[in-house]
Every structure is written in C-alpha cells, then in structure tokens.
Structure 1
Amino acid sequence: MRQRGYTLLEIIVAFAVLGLALTLLLGTLSGGVRQVRWSADVARAALHAQSLLDEVGVGEVLVPGRRDGEFEGGRYRWVLDVAPYVDRARPPGQPVDPFAPQLLQLQLVVTWGEGGPRETLQLQSLRLVQPDPSGVAG
C-alpha cells in the first residue's frame, strides 16, 4: 500500500501563500480603520467649528480682530479672523453710511492631528451687524 501525503515543500508554499493573503487583508483593514478615524476627526472638527460660528456675535458685539482657542483640551485648535467685508464690485470712493448695517467676513481655521497640527478645516461666513449707537460720535 502506498500512502500519499503532502511534501514539506508543498506545506511551506501553502503557508507562504496564507501569510501573503493575511498580510494583504490586514493591510486593507488597517487602511479602512485609518479612513474611519480620519472621517470621525473631520466630522468632529466640523461640529466644533459650526458651534463656534453659531456662538460668535451672540450676546456680544462682533468687532474686527483675531481670536484663537482650543477644543477638547487642545486636540483641536482654532483661529477666527473677523474683518470688514470688501465688496470688489463696489466702485472705490463711494461714500459709506456710518449708520448702515456693516457686513463682516469671518474666517475660521480649525487644525488638529497627532504630533502637531497636520489637518486643517477652513470655513468662511458673512455676518450683518448693526452699528453700535454708543460708539458713533455725534
């Protein structure tokens, strides 16, 4: 009776193919996990940015300038620039009514990332503000 089995070479080749397949599979899963984490970080940064933009100018007079801060104990950092909006279509030298509402441009930059800020989210918005009657000289 002759017994037929696998040779040592066949077993080594089978393990090599199995190892290669597992390496490719784990690499694909690892990339997917990174993408999911990146997506969650972007969504979290967008939620923080939107909540900050919703709060700006509520209960306080919005004035041109720069402010900065952080969310989640420094994981996300933000910088908000507020400046008067410049309408490029408006002819230069046209008089401006000091009692008219003013349009301000808000630019918010949120940065985050491990080992220093590597990812950036930038949002821009416009706000219409009423002039401060106490600040106008009469």
Structure 2
Amino acid sequence: MADHPSRSAGFTLLEVLVAFVILSALLGVVMRLNAQALNIGMRAAERQQALMLGRSQLDRILARRNLVPGTEQGAFERGDFHWSLEVGAFTWPERGQAQMDAGGQVYRITLTVYRGEAIAVQLTTLRLGVAS
C-alpha cells in the first residue's frame, strides 16, 4: 500500500482562500450595516433633541398673553439649533374667513427648528386670541 494521504483528509489551500474571501465580504456588509444603524441612531437623537427644544419654545410662545402676527427668530442656548416663528391669522377652509363670529381671532402658529441650515422639526398649532 502506498503512504499517500487521502484527498478528502483535509482542506486544500484554494478552499481555505475561498472561505476567507467569502468571510471578508460578509464582514464588509456587516460593518456597513452597523455604520448605517449608528448614523440613523444619531439622526434620531438629533431630531428628538430638536423636538424637545421646539416644544419648550412653543410653550413659551403660547404662554404669552397677546400674540402679534408676524415672524420672529432666535437661537437656543445649547447646541447649534435655532428657531423661526410665524404667527398669522388662520382661515377656516369651509368658511373662508379669518374672523370668528364671537369676536375672537384664531391664530396659526408655526415654529420651525433648524440644525444648521436644515429643518430638523416643524411644529404647528392653533390658538384663539381676543380681538383688540
């Protein structure tokens, strides 16, 4: 009998190299997916912070006794977020009029929070004001 080892006794160098190529390709895909998930998580955290800051600023605006139609802008103390406010008369779609019968005025308040130049979040609400 010959002392030659059987071909099925182990892996050839080619099989090992193919396995490493497949493994490295899969690892690349996993790393890309991980980076995308991290990016999505960071954007969600920034949006949550913008929403929190926007709600807080909107509460301050709604606490004012009188609303004056027009626009305002400002910056938040922390972060690179800033805001823009637009207050205007609200027109009821079915009535086509801005003034209410009871002498009150409905205002549409839109607060936009920006991070840098991009819009992070926009909040809109209505408030009834007394006609002056």
TM-score range, shorter chain: 0.7 to 0.9
Which residue identity is paired with 1:85? F
Q: Specify the alignment match of 1:129 in structure 2.
A: 129
Segments of structure 2 that go 5 or more residues without pairing to the other structure are none
Residue 52 of structure 2 aligns to a residue whose secondary structure is helix
Q: Do 2:112 and 2:119's aligned partners in 1 also have CA atoms closer than 8 Å?
A: no
1:91-127 deviation digits (Å, cap 9, x = unpaired):
66x9877x93321110112222xxx533442221111
Segments of structure 1 that go 5 or more residues without pairing to the other structure are 133-138
Give yes or no for the alignment of 1:85 onto 2:93.
no
Q: Specify the alignment match of 1:53 in structure 2.
A: 58
Identity of aligned residues (%): 29
Structure number with greater Rg is: 2
Relative to the length of structure 2, the TM-score reads 0.77
Tell me the C-alpha RMSD between the 2 structures. 2.8
Q: Specify the alignment match of 1:71 in structure 2.
A: 76
CA shift in 2, pair 1:6/1:72, >3 Å:
farther
1:5-60 deviation digits (Å, cap 9, x = unpaired):
54332222121111111111111111111111121111111111111111104245
Residue 32 of structure 2 aligns to a residue whose secondary structure is helix
Aligned positions, number: 127
